[in-house]
Amino acid sequence: MITIVIAEDHQALIDGLRVFLEYEKDITVLGEANDGEALIELVRNKKPNIVITDIRMPKYDGIAATKIIKNEYPNTKVIAFTMFEQEEAILQMKEAGASGYILKNASLKKVLEVIRIVADNKTFFEKYGIGTDNDSKEEITLSRREKDILRQIAKGKTSQEIAEILCIGKSTVDSHRKNIMKKINLHGKSDLVRYAVERKYDF
- 162 falls in which pLDDT band (50, 70, 90)? very high
Fold of 142-202: Arc Repressor Mutant, subunit A (1.10.10)
The dihedrals phi and psi of 58, each to the nearest 5 degrees, come to -70, 160
Domain 2-133, CATH number (from 2.40.37.10, 3.30.230.10, 3.90.1640.10, 3.40.50.2300): 3.40.50.2300
DSSP conformation class of 31: E
Q: Rounded CA gap, 109 and 189, in Å?
A: 28
- 52 falls in which pLDDT band (50, 70, 90)? very high
Q: Rounded CA gap, 61 and 81, in Å?
A: 12
The dihedrals phi and psi of 72, each to the nearest 5 degrees, come to -85, -35
Q: Which residues contact 67 (CB under 8 A, 6 or more apart)?
A: 96, 97
Partners of 80 in the beta sheet?
53, 101
Question: Could you give the dihedral angle defined by the CA atoms of residues 109, 111, 116 and 122, in that order, rounded to the nearest 10 degrees?
Answer: 130
- 202 falls in which pLDDT band (50, 70, 90)? low
Q: Is the pLDDT of residue 22 over 80?
A: yes
What ranges do the domains of the chain cover?
A: 2-133, 142-202
Handedness of CA 196, 197, 202, 203 (dihedral sign): positive
| pLDDT top residue among 40 and 128 | 40
* pTM given for the model: 0.63
| pLDDT top residue among 189 and 99 | 99
Q: Is 142 helix (H, G, I), strand (E, B) or coil?
A: coil
Lowest pLDDT segment from 27-31, 69-73, 129-133: 129-133
Lowest pLDDT segment from 52-61, 94-103, 127-136, 148-157: 127-136
